[in-house]
Chain A
Amino acid sequence: MTRAARYLLTPAVRPFTIMAATIVVLSLMDRGTGYFFSVGTVFSVMQLFATLGLVALGLGLTLLVREFDLSVASMVGLAGAIAVMTGGADPWIGVALGVCAGVVSGTLQGLIMTQLGLSSVGVTLGGLLTLQGITYVLTGNATVSYPNMAVALGLNAPIAGLLSVRSAAALAVFLLAGLVMTYTHVGRDIIATGSDRRASRIAGLNTDAVVVGVFAASGACAALAGVLLSYSLGAASPVALADVLAPAAAAAIVGGVSVVGGRGSAMGIAAGVLTLCILRSGLGAIGVPPYVHDLVTGGILLVIAILDAPDLMRRVTAWRLDHAERRDAALKGKSS
């Protein structure tokens, strides 16, 4: 492997390499018809980004500290329901209450985990079911429509053809997260907690506070995604939002977040989300059937899973040695 290829595959750069490769492949498949390279494709990519991106950002932050927040899947629905039901007169009230619910739920789950020493999968699984239940109770198990259609239209109206208010808001959150992660001690604290929690604690870092904060942020991100989605759809319904979890986790991981903690960045996550969104709308624009998107996403994830597997190099080296030994033995057998 040349030095350039090696650089392109280093964990910090890999998300951008994958994104660039996706764009190149799709534009080759497009063969100059211009369906892929169009303003419309960019707009639809960014619309997908607005929902998936925020959830992936929150989930990615929890992966960074070596936890896993399953509850984001139903937080999206709950926050959407809260916003739709309270934000009829003033949409900002809905946004505030929805995001508040996210912060409260994340903080509570974080406190339960850190104070009782519980694992995040168990607690957030309970959170997932409980939040889903609250959503069912709030909406009375029916679709609630949002009376203020002007907000719905306004959120999705194109800005300069490429963005909408919704996707611009998501981008702004990513930018903010990137700045905070890079230029304040918060980012370093999160990475330290994820790399080695015990060492960080001994070094004087309040790791419990970091974990609680990360879960609060994760809840807030998922909630904001849900609020924006429900406003723009003009409705909230309690079902079918659990499907957001797997794509969000996939996006965070394609975005270079290590599942064993301590590695990843907000910009990387953005690249990961964009890759999946470009795949989805790009393949659609070219006219490839939708299942190809799932197959390609699965394939990329599988390759990443294998490349990142801790025992891969050990196994490959063992195979090589084994092979060389066998070849030597065969040569010896021939010469004697």
Chain B
Amino acid sequence: MTAVPLRARLRPGGIGARHLVLAARIVGIAALTAFALTTPGFTSALSVNALLNAISFIGCVAVGMTFITLTGNIMSLCLGATVSASALIFLASLAFGVLPAFLLALGFGIVVTAAQGLLIGYFRANPILVSIAGLSLLIGGAAFATGGQRIYPGGAGLLMFKGRVAGVPVEALYFFATVIVGQFILSWTRIGRVMVMVGSNIRAAHAVGISTAAAIAVAYVIAGACAAVSGVLLAARYGSGDMELGAGYDYAAIAAVLVGGTAIQGGSGSVIRTLIGVTVIAMIEVVLLLRGFSEQLQFLITGLIVLGVIMLHTIGEKR
């Protein structure tokens, strides 16, 4: 055994690089926390609430996206539209009562993504292509159903999905519940482990007799349910909805997933990481806001940090 040359150690995937990345992660999070805590007003109730609100809506979608990324299907461009469409279903069916409306929205979100998951899992259809098809169909279908009008709810009783419990916004409670359920499925159920295995090596999973199609379909079902929860929360928050409600959530969600450190090629990652990712991005935005940066600089700095963090994560891993 000869000594490993330094250059090889610093190459992507080398031992040195991995330690370097770990150190950089710790330093980065510590620096961000210190920076946040020294920002005047960051710990005020108002700012904490703003932070919780900011992470709740996108966070739910990001938890769903985690499962898609984890099973090796990169990302879905359709989740934002699923959020909007579930919100529309929820608002349109409020007349039947809040709970039935919630279940209808949940069912709708699940059906939309499960159909995509079945195509992707069963035929191995390309996930990005299928999601673009789903996006087109949802936008067209929604325009057909609503005539392009905003929907205003036909019933009352939205308090279940907005307001506060013990000072904490209800949206955040739903989000944390989503995170806990998601991480539970991933860590402590058989299907969760199977999903990770399918993401890390689909051929090996198939060879040992795992139904890869079912695993991928389940991942999409979870993603749809998460998107629907986000849609319902958004609908309750704004009291009306159209297809713009969740526009752009796909990109925000995949950014949170990648910043959290879930691997884009699948097979490695967790819901907790996504929680960290979505919190880090929201913290950066709140700190920049409190420090008086203009809105345009906030966008730029957030973008650069996301780019930097994604590069950092992937340097530690072989492609």
Which residues in A have some Cβ–Cβ distance to B below 8 Å? 68, 70, 112, 116-119, 121-123, 125-134, 136-137, 139-141, 238, 242, 245-246, 249-250, 253, 259-260, 289-299, 301-302, 304-306, 308-312, 315
- Which one of B124, B248, B255, B304 lies within 8 Å of A125 (CB-CB)? B255
- Which one of B265, B311, B315 lies within 8 Å of A126 (CB-CB)? B311
Given contacts A123-B307, A125-B306, A126-B311, contact A141 B294 (CB under 8 A): yes
Contacts of A310 in B (CB 8 A): 123-124
| A126 adjacent to B306 (CB under 8 Å) | yes
Instruction: Tell me the complex Cα distance, A119–B301, Å.
Output: 22
- Which one of A125, A136, A140, A238 lies within 8 Å of B251 (CB-CB)? A125
- Which one of B77, B251, B299, B311 lies within 8 Å of A123 (CB-CB)? B311
| B136 adjacent to A250 (CB under 8 Å) | yes
Given contacts A291-B140, A301-B133, contact A116 B300 (CB under 8 A): no
Instruction: Tell me the complex Cα distance, A159–B256, Å.
Output: 48
Chain A residue nearest in CB terms to B124? A311
Contacts of A123 in B (CB 8 A): 307, 310-311
Q: How far is the CB of B42 from chain A (nearest CB, A)?
A: 22
Query: Chain B: interface residue count, which band?
Result: 35 or more
Q: Is B318 an interface residue (CB 8 A)?
A: yes
Q: Mark B257-300, 1 if CB is under 8 A from A, else 0.
A: 01000001100000000000000000000000000001111011
Q: Is B168 an interface residue (CB 8 A)?
A: no
Q: How far is the CB of A123 from chain B (nearest CB, A)?
A: 7
Describe B's contact surface by its main secondary structure.
helix
| B304 adjacent to A121 (CB under 8 Å) | no
Instruction: Tell me the complex Cα distance, A46–B7, Å.
Output: 53
| A298 adjacent to B301 (CB under 8 Å) | no
Given contacts A259-B129, A309-B126, contact A132 B303 (CB under 8 A): yes
Given contacts A136-B300, A292-B140, A302-B130, contact A129 B251 (CB under 8 A): yes
| A298 adjacent to B299 (CB under 8 Å) | no
Given contacts A121-B75, A259-B129, contact A133 B12 (CB under 8 A): no
Given contacts A121-B75, A133-B299, contact A306 B125 (CB under 8 A): yes
Instruction: Tell me the complex Cα distance, A249–B74, Å.
Output: 15
| B296 adjacent to A137 (CB under 8 Å) | yes
Instruction: Tell me the complex Cα distance, A306–B123, Å.
Output: 7
Contacts of B77 in A (CB 8 A): 245-246
Interface residues of B in 107-163 (CB under 8 A from A): 119, 122-126, 128-130, 132-141, 143-144
Instruction: Tell me the complex Cα distance, A291–B12, Å.
Output: 47
Q: Is B94 an interface residue (CB 8 A)?
A: no
